Structure 1
Amino acid sequence: MGGIHMIHVLFVCLGNICRSPMAEAVFRKMLEEEGIADQFQVDSAGIGAWHEGLPPHEGTRKILDDRNISYQGMKARQINNQDGEYFDYIIAMDEQNISDLQFLRDQTSNTNIAKLMDFVEKSEEVNVPDPYFTKKFDYTYQLIEKGCKALLQTIRQERGV
C-alpha cells in the first residue's frame, strides 16, 4: 500500500495532563471508529515540563473512563524542537499555548499550528479552558470532542483521507 503518508497530529496544552491528553485520546478513538487509525500518528505534549512522566490528571482519566476511551500508556512530556519538524498538525488549546509555540513557528513552514477551536464554526469559545484550574472537565470534554470532529473533517478535506 505504498504512497500513503502518515499524518502526524500533536495536541498541546500547558502541562500535558488535562486537555492535550484528553484530545489525544478522543481523536484516537474517532480515528479507530472511522477505520483510519493506521494512517495517523497522534501524540500530545505540554509547554512546560512540570508533570513530565505522569499519567493524565485524575479528572481527565475519569471523563475518559466514563466514555470508555483509552489513555493507556499516556505520559506527560514537554514539546521540543523536533516536534516542529515531525508533526503535520500541532493543535494548541488556547492563545497562550499558541504564543508559547512561536519558537516552532519560526523554524517550520510545513506544520499547521492552530488552536483546536479554530476548526469549529461558530464556536462559543475560542480557547479550551484549562480544567486544572476551572475543574470543569465535562465542559472541557464537550469542547474537545467538537474540536476533534471538526479537525478530523478538515484533515480529511486537506489530505483526502
Structure 2
Amino acid sequence: MTYRILFVCLGNICRSPTAEAVLRAIASDHPTLKVHIDSAGTSDWHIGEPPYGPMQDAAQTRGYDLSRLRARQFVVEDFDRFDLIVPMDESNLANVERLRPNRSTTRVELFTEFARDTGMDHVPDPYYTRNFDETLDLVEAASRGLVAELMR
C-alpha cells in the first residue's frame, strides 16, 4: 500500500515544502514503506513560486533539497487524493476543515501530533520567526514520528 500524505501550511514556501522534503528523505531509509508526498498552502499568495530562499538554505545545510518544489494552493479535491492531510498549525487546520466535503473521511492531523515529546502544539512559521533551525528540528522529529506510525 502507498500512503498518500499532504502537508499544509499558509503559503507553501517554508514549513510544508520542508516537511515534504524531510519526510521523503526519512521514508527513503525504509524501503518497505511506500509513500506519495506533496505539500500545499491554504493561501494563494505564492502559487508557482519556489520555497523561501532562507528556508531552502537552512534545509540544504542539513542535506534536504527544496529547489524543485513549487507552491500550490490546497483544494477540496485533495480530500480525495490523500489518505492523510497534515496541517502545520491550528489556523491551517481550520482552513482545511472548512473545505472538507460532508462525505469525506480523510484523516487530518496536526504535524506536531507525531512529535508530542517536543511539547510543541504547532510548527512555528520561520518566515515570521526567522528561526529556520527550530522549524527543521521540529519537522525532523515529527517526520520520524510519522514514519514510525506508518511502519506499525
What band does the TM-score fall into relative to the shorter chain?
over 0.9
Q: Which residue of 1 aligns with 2:36?
A: 41
The Cα offsets for residues 72-105 of structure 1, whole Å up to 9 and x where unpaired, read as 4210000001101110010010011111111343
Q: For 1:108 and 1:93, how far apart are their aligned partners in 2?
A: 24
Q: Which residue of 2 aligns with 1:26?
A: 22
SS at match of 1:56: coil
What is the TM-score normalised by the length of structure 1?
Answer: 0.88
Aligned CA RMSD, in angstroms, stands at: 1.5
Q: For 2:40 and 2:115, how far apart are their aligned partners in 1?
A: 22
The Cα offsets for residues 52-75 of structure 1, whole Å up to 9 and x where unpaired, read as 000011121111211121224210
Q: For 1:141 and 1:135, how far apart are their aligned partners in 2?
A: 12
Cα displacement (A) at 1:20: 0.2
Q: For 1:155 and 1:108, how far apart are their aligned partners in 2?
A: 24
Q: For 1:69 and 1:107, how far apart are their aligned partners in 2?
A: 37
Q: For 1:90 and 1:66, how far apart are their aligned partners in 2?
A: 27
Matches within 5 A, 1:52-71: 52-71=47-66
Cα displacement (A) at 1:123: 2.6
The answer (yes or no) to whether the contact 1:23–1:148 under 8 Å persists in 2 is: yes
Cα displacement (A) at 1:13: 0.2
Question: Once superposed, which parts of structure 1, at least 4 consecutive aligned residues long, lie more than 4 Å away?
Answer: none
Larger CA deviation: 130-139 vs 106-115 = 106-115
Match for 2:90 among 90, 95, 98? 95
Q: Which residue of 1 aligns with 2:10?
A: 14
What is the TM-score normalised by the length of structure 2?
Answer: 0.93
The Cα offsets for residues 99-135 of structure 1, whole Å up to 9 and x where unpaired, read as 1111343435431101000122333210111001100
Q: What percent identity do the matched residue pairs reach?
A: 36
Q: Which runs of 5+ in 2 are unaligned?
A: none
Call closer, same or farther: CA 1:108–1:44 in 2, change over 3 Å. Answer: farther
Number of residue-to-residue matches in the alignment: 152
Q: Which residue of 1 aligns with 2:100?
A: 105
SS at match of 1:10: strand
Q: Which runs of 5+ in 1 are unaligned?
A: none
SS at match of 2:64: coil
Letter in 1 for 2:121: V
Letter in 1 for 2:129: T
